């Protein structure tokens, strides 16, 4: 069933099997014999690096949690471009994920997406299904 689907896609589209994904949409995917590990460590590290905060010391809470923020209180940031760029990346990332999900018109694209991510797992399921079918 899966091999037929792959051959159909190959015959009708420019289709290339990229193998197992390692980094997709800001998510790292690592596999071993016990399972799959999914992490956004690289994406978070990129954000911290872009903001210039990689060498900063960690703090449990960077500011008083009971402080009320107000527009006219306190000193403004000397250079708000770093903050704007960081927030812009977060907003853009969220909107890209939502837009990608929203634009999927039907189940066919979802099958292609699942096949590209979990191709080997689906092949394993196909083998298991063949073993149990009589």
- Kindly report, residue by residue over 41-84, the tens digit of the pLDDT: 888 888 788 777 788 877 666 667 787 777 787 777 777 777 77
The pLDDT value given to residue 25: 72
Distance CA 100, CA 120 (A): 23
9 assigned to some structural domain: yes
Provide the residue range defining the domain that includes 102: 2-54+79-132
The model carries a pTM of 0.38
Q: What are 54's two structure tokens? A: 């990689």
61 assigned to some structural domain: no
Which residues is 38 bridged to in the sheet? Answer: 29
The pLDDT value given to residue 74: 76
Residue 129 has pLDDT above 60, yes or no: no
Q: State the average pLDDT over residues 7-32.
A: 76
Please indicate whether residue 8 or residue 128 has the higher confidence score (pLDDT). Answer: 8
Residue 121 has pLDDT above 80, yes or no: no
Residue 110's contacts (CB-CB under 8 Å, 6 or more residues apart) are 104
Q: Of 10-19, 53-62, 65-74, 103-112, where does the model show the most confidence?
A: 65-74
107 assigned to some structural domain: yes
32 assigned to some structural domain: yes
Q: How would residue 104 be classed by pLDDT, with cut points 50, 70 and 90?
A: low
110 assigned to some structural domain: yes
CA distances from 63 to 6, 44, 49 (A): 54, 21, 21
Number of domains in the chain: 1
91 assigned to some structural domain: yes
25 assigned to some structural domain: yes
CA distances from 14 to 9, 17, 21, 24 (A): 8, 10, 19, 20
105 assigned to some structural domain: yes
Distance CA 50, CA 45 (A): 9
The pLDDT value given to residue 61: 63
Residue 17 has pLDDT above 70, yes or no: no
- Closest by CA to 50, choosing from 76, 89, 80, is 89
Would you tell me how many other CB atoms lie within 10 Å of the CB of residue 6?
16
Distance CA 118, CA 24 (A): 12
The pLDDT value given to residue 125: 43
């Amino acid at each position: 069933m899966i091999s037929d689907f792959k051959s159909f896609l190959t015959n009708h589209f420019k289709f290339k099997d990229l193998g197992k994904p390692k980094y997709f949409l800001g998510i790292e995917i690592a596999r071993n014999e016990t399972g799959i590990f999914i992490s956004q460590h690289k994406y978070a590290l990129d954000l911290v690096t872009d903001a210039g905060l990689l060498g900063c010391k960690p703090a449990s809470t960077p500011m008083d949690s009971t402080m009320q923020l107000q527009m006219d209180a306190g000193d403004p940031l000397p250079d708000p471009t770093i903050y704007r760029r960081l927030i812009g990346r977060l907003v853009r990332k969220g909107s890209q994920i939502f837009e990608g999900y929203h634009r999927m018109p039907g189940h066919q694209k979802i099958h292609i997406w699942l096949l590209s991510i979990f191709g080997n797992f689906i092949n394993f399921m196909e083998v298991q299904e063949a073993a149990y079918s009589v």
